[in-house]
Chain A
């Protein structure tokens, strides 16, 4: 099946710093990628839709200035958590949509903000 990678797999940072997470589709082109957040023992919550060549679409309650998304190419989307705080600590997962309606998920990035 299709492969999606994320980098880094985990990151620890100090409060107030910014963290960039990369999501890459390795063997297919994805005009649309999605970013999710998952808190412990909870389900995935969609944060935003990343569209190549245009601005991301954010879900209600997600601050676009806090979570910057850049879909730089057909195989790369980045999520930057700006001025991270402890409450931003979570598991961030991206997915890439192929042309068969299937979303392929990355392995996730665990963020811990101290």
Chain B
């Protein structure tokens, strides 16, 4: 069964704008990971944030984690057309298994 929800389900922005996606989950976790998937392709690992971390940066990506609210957000700054893809959060409850959220489809218009 799916762990949680992501919102928005779809997001359309102009190039250069920031994109924020949110993820909520239901059970306690060991870590939360964000992945990107281009249409019809495999997943690309973006960033992993552990349960004892609150914020993490990687290039134009910023991830936050609030374990009290069981939620995480992914911020992509200064978006580019190449960022157009689906973004999924996935939680690991220390079993090694990843449970994926529903995903957010991001479209960045040039």
- Residues 42-66 of A, flagged 1 when their CB comes within 8 A of B and 0 if not, give 1111100100000000000000000
Cβ-defined contact, B100 with A44, below 8 A: yes
Query: In the docked arrangement, what's the CA distance between A95 and B98, Å?
Result: 10
Give the A-B pair count, Cβ closer than 8 A: 54
Q: Please count how many residues in chain B sit with their CB below 8 Å of the partner chain's CB atoms.
A: 22
Cβ-defined contact, A103 with B40, below 8 A: no
- Residues 35-49 of B, flagged 1 when their CB comes within 8 A of A and 0 if not, give 100001111110010
Query: In the docked arrangement, what's the CA distance between A32 and B98, Å?
Result: 12
Report which B residues bind A (CB closer than 8 A).
2, 30-31, 33, 35, 40-45, 48, 88, 92, 96-103
Q: Which of A1, A42, A43 has the most CB of B within 10 A?
A: A43
Q: Quick check: is A101 within 8 A (CB to CB) of the other chain?
A: yes
Closest CB in chain A relative to B107 CB, distance in Å: 14
Cβ-defined contact, A101 with B102, below 8 A: no
Q: Please count how many residues in chain A sit with their CB below 8 Å of the partner chain's CB atoms.
A: 24
Closest CB in chain B relative to A51 CB, distance in Å: 10
Cβ-defined contact, A105 with B31, below 8 A: no
Cβ-defined contact, B100 with A103, below 8 A: no
Please give me the residue from chain B that is nearest to A36 by CB atom.
B100
- Within 8 Å CB of B33, what residues of A? 102-103
